[in-house]
Amino acid sequence: MRLTKPTLLLLAAGLAFSCQPEDELPQVDPASNQAANRWILDVMEEVYYWLDDLGTPISESSDPADYFEALLNRPTDRFSVIYPDYQELINALSGVNLEAGYEFILYRESSEANSNVYASVSYIKKNSPASNVDLKRGDIINKINGTQLTMNNYSELLGATAGMHTLSYARFSEASNAYSPMPDVTLTAVQLAENPNFLDTVYTIDNEKIGYVVYHFFAPGPSANNTSYDTEMDGIFASFKAEGIDHLIVDFRYNGGGYVSSAVNLASLIAPGVGSTSVFSKTKYNNYLMDQFSELRNVQTPFLAKTQNLGNTLSDNRVYILTSSRTASASELIINGLKPYMDVFLIGDVTTGKNVGSIPFEDEENSQNEYGILPIVSQSFNSLDQSDYTAGFTPNITVKETQERLRPFGDINELLLRTAISQITGVPSGARFEQLSRQDIGSSLDVQIRSGIQIEAPLQK
C-alpha cells in the first residue's frame, strides 16, 4: 500500500490515514513521463472535487500536461492547471515572477482597416524595472523590439518581454487630444516580488471620509512563512480606522485570486464586529474524502479577531467593491463571505464566477518529477450556505474601464472610482470624457498563474 502526500495535506494534524490497496506497478524511470503521470493520477484519484467525473487516463507515456488535461471534468472544470516547475508555481502564487514590472490589456487597433494590436498599460509595479523609466498607466505600446504588434505575431512578441526588450509607445495628451510618440525604453526582466497592496488613500468629499484601497492579488507575503503583505494590509485598515472613514471602496478589478488565508485576513478587517466565532466560509470536498474523514465533512473557516477591524463605522453598513471580468476566485470568496454580514455594493463588470478552490501539489517522493499541479479540490459556501455564483456576480452598477482612456489609480476622475464616489455622495460627476468603443482581446493578467486561483491552505500532518 502507498500513503500519498496529497491526502495528508488535506487532513488536519494528527489524523491517521488508511490507504486503499492497489496492484503493484512496474518500476519506471523517476525522470520519465510515466513517473510523473502515475503521481498525477494518484493525486487526482484522491482529492479531485469532481472525482465521480474523473476522465479516462490516456497513455502513461503521454506528455504530463496532456495526461492531466485528459483527467479533467471539462467544461465544468475551468480552472485546474498543471505547471512544469512546482517552485516556479509557488513563486508565482506569491507574486514572484520573471518580468519587467508592467501589466497591460490588448486591443485591436481596428477591426476592419488592419490587423494591428496595441497594449494599453494597466499598471506599473513598485520597485520594478518599468518603474524606473517613463512608462505610465494608459500608455499605448505598439511595438516590441521594433516590430509592430499584430493579431498574427503578438503572442510571439510578448514572449520577448521575459528578457531584455525595447518598447515603442505613445502617450495621450489632454492638451492636444491626441497620442504622441514617446522615446523608446529598454527593459530587462528580473525576478520581481510584487506587493499586492498597490494603493491606499483617504478622500474627504462633501464632508464624507472615503477610504480607498487597491489590492491586486491575495498573498500573505513574498515567500513561505512571510506575512508582511497581510501585516501591511492590517496597517492600512488601522489608518482607515484612525481616520474615522465613513465609506470604504475596495478595488478588485485586476484581482484574480490567491491565498484564502489572505482573503480571510482582509474580510476580517471589513465585516462589522466579526471575530473568531463568526463563520466566514464553509468548504466542501469530494465524497471520498468526506466519507473517509469526518473532520472534512463540516469544514468552517472563521473570521479572525482583528483590532484593526472597522467595526460599525461604515455608513449603511455598506462596502463598495470595484470589479471587472478578471475579478475572480478569492475576490469572489470575499464578496460572497461578506454578504451575510453587510451590504456589498459592486461597481464594474460581471466577475469571473469561481466558487471552487485548489491546493498546490508537488511530488515529494520523487525529486526528479518537477511538475506542480493545482487541481480543483473544494467548493466554497458562505455562512448561509450560498455558493451560486458560477456565472459571476452581477454589479449593482455596470461600468467598464475599457469605455474610457485609463487615468491613474487614485485619480477621482478615473471611471470606476468616480462612479463609486458619485454613488456615495449622491452627486453625479460633472466630468465628461470621450467614450471609446474597443474590444479587450486579452491581458498579461490572464497568463498569471494566480489568475482565477483560490488557494486553500495545505493542512499539515
- Range of lowest pLDDT (144-148, 331-335, 453-457): 453-457
What is residue 208's predicted lDDT score, i.e. its pLDDT?
A: 94
pTM of the entire predicted model: 0.91
**Which phi and psi angles does 144 have, rounded to 5°?**
-125, 125
Q: How confident is the model at residue 438 (pLDDT cuts 50, 70, 90)?
A: confident
pLDDT score at 8: 41
pLDDT category at 455 given cuts 50, 70, 90 is: low
11 pLDDT above the threshold of 90: no
Q: Is the pLDDT score of 212 beyond 70? A: yes
- pLDDT tens for 65-110 read 999 999 999 999 999 999 999 998 888 888 889 999 999 999 998 8
Q: How far apart are CA 411 and CA 211, in angstroms?
A: 13
Q: What is the pLDDT of residue 7?
A: 46
Q: What is the mean pLDDT of residues 432-456?
A: 76
User: What is the pLDDT, as a whole number, of residue 71?
Assistant: 98
Quick: pLDDT tens for 187-198.
999 999 999 999
pLDDT at 73 (0 to 100): 98
Q: What is the pLDDT of residues 340-397, one digit of tens each?
A: 999 999 999 999 999 999 999 999 999 999 999 999 999 999 999 999 999 999 999 9
Confidence tier at 1 by pLDDT (50, 70, 90): very low
Residue 9 has pLDDT above 60, yes or no: no
Residue 15 has pLDDT above 60, yes or no: no
Provide the pLDDT for residue 6. 43
Q: Which pairing describes strands 117-124 and 140-144: parallel, antiparallel, or unpaired? A: antiparallel
pLDDT at residue 156 in the model: 93
- In the prediction, which pLDDT does 449 show? 59
Q: Average pLDDT for residues 159-177, to the nearest whole number?
A: 94
Q: Supply 381's cell numbers.
A: 459556501
User: What pLDDT does residue 13 have?
Assistant: 34
Residue 447 binned pLDDT confidence (cut-offs 50, 70, 90) = confident
Check residue 113 and give its pLDDT.
74
Per-residue pLDDT tens over the stretch 105-120: 999 988 777 899 999 9
Cell matching residue 47? 482529492
Q: What percent of the chain has pLDDT over 70?
A: 92
- What domains, with CATH codes, occur in the chain? 96-192 (2.30.42.10), 195-285+292-355+380-434 (3.90.226.10)
Q: What is the pLDDT of residues 287-319, one digit of tens each?
A: 999 999 999 999 999 999 999 999 999 999 999
pLDDT value for 440: 87
Q: Averaged over 136-151, what is the pLDDT?
A: 97
Does residue 4 or residue 241 have the better pLDDT? 241
* Per-residue pLDDT tens over the stretch 16-54: 333 444 457 789 999 999 999 999 999 999 999 999 999
Q: How far apart are CA 32 and CA 34, in angstroms?
A: 5
pLDDT band at 452 (very low <50, low <70, confident <90, very high): low
pLDDT score, position 454: 65
Q: What is the pLDDT of residues 217-261, one digit of tens each?
A: 999 999 989 999 999 999 999 999 999 999 999 999 999 999 999
Q: What is the pLDDT of residues 386-424, one digit of tens each?
A: 999 999 999 999 999 999 999 999 999 999 999 999 999
- pLDDT tens digits along 258-287: 999 999 999 999 999 999 999 999 999 999
> What average pLDDT does the chain have?
91
- Could you give the CA distance from residue 304 to residue 297 in angstroms, rounded to a whole number? 22
Q: What's the pLDDT at 16?
A: 35
